[in-house]
Amino acid sequence: MLHTTFLNKTFSNPIVLASGILGVTGASLAHMVENGCGGVTTKSISLEPRPGHKNPTMMGTDDYFLNAVGLSNPGVANALPEIAKFHSLSTAPIIASIFAGTADEFGEVAEHICASPIDFIEVNISCPNVGKEFGTPFAYSTTAIEAITKIVKSKSTVPIIIKLSPNAWNIAEMAKAAEAAGADAITAVNTISGLMIDIESRRPILANKQGGVSGPALLPIALKCVYDIYASVKIPIIGTGGVTTGRDAIAMIMAGATLVGVGSAAYYREKTCFAKIVAEMAEFMQTENIKSLAEIRGAAHTN
């Protein structure tokens, strides 16, 4: 019922661990599969190690989660054995998330990461909280998207997925640029820029001041982005942002997503959230007599 084919790979269910949540080591990524994920995405990997931002880097409420971790990671050389470790522990598909400061560097990271047993590359061009280091995110420019997509595609031995930003008001145009340049799929979306202030100290709560908003508050924004992209491109979409329940995931499928990324739900429903979401999806489908997700994919566009 929930088996999903994405770019010729079979997922036992459409729920994919989103980048940057829980899965840092190969063992922890495999543990997420044991907890119900159909596939996993690594934390974003750069050419060289990055320490990330100073604490505090995250905070949450019942309605949203705000983080500015700063893309901390051990660098691509140290990531390779962890991906190999995951491959030894699990047969689930793995998506390697990469980021860089220039188009050429994206190509270099892609070439290195393909030495590991990955199934896809997710190209993170849309992190909202590293502007001081990298400037305006590439996800706001069709020219930048085209250049990065082409070079990563030329260096990669696996399909590539371009991760877009909800901060781009014309996100469908960004998706079309990625598709035209050779992208195999789109991830929509990354977190959206936000800031919270501690009124006692009269300062922003995060050390980085601004951060990325995820959690339930992001869901309607992410759904609109997926909906618009689905109407504009023919390549598949990983719908990500604010999915906390099985009903949220079904909504993502109806907006046009093939896979559904889940991350901050682990903050709200613990790491068992993945299995819970899968069970809730199955229950809904049984109640509605839906035999496969293909029956409802994009359904919101025709009703």
78 in a labelled binding site? no
Annotation-wise, does 69 bind a ligand? Answer: yes
Question: Which residue is associated with the tokens 């069709």?
Answer: 142
- Can you give 30-86 as a three-state secondary structure string? HHHHHCCCCEEECCCECCCCECCCCCCCEEECCCCEEECCCCCECCHHHHHHHHHHH
Token digits of residue 39 = 């596939």
Pairing of strands 185-188, 160-164: parallel
- Sole residue written with tokens 């930003």: 165
Q: Is 55 annotated as a binding residue?
A: no
**242 assigned binding-site residue:** yes
**Is 302 assigned to a binding site?**
no
Q: Is 127 a catalytic residue?
A: yes
The span from the CA of 211 to the CA of 294, in Å, is 35
Report whether 182 belongs to an annotated binding site. no
Options 37, 114, 127, 225, the catalytic residue: 127
246 is in an annotated binding site: no
DSSP classification of residue 206: B
The annotation status of 215 as a binding-site residue, yes or no, is yes
Residues flagged as binding site: 19, 43-44, 67-71, 124, 163, 189-191, 215, 241-242, 263-264
Q: Which residues are annotated as a binding site for FMN?
A: 19, 43-44, 124, 163, 189, 215, 241-242, 263-264
Annotated binding-site ranges for substrate: 43, 67-71, 124, 190-191
**Residues with a known catalytic role:** 127
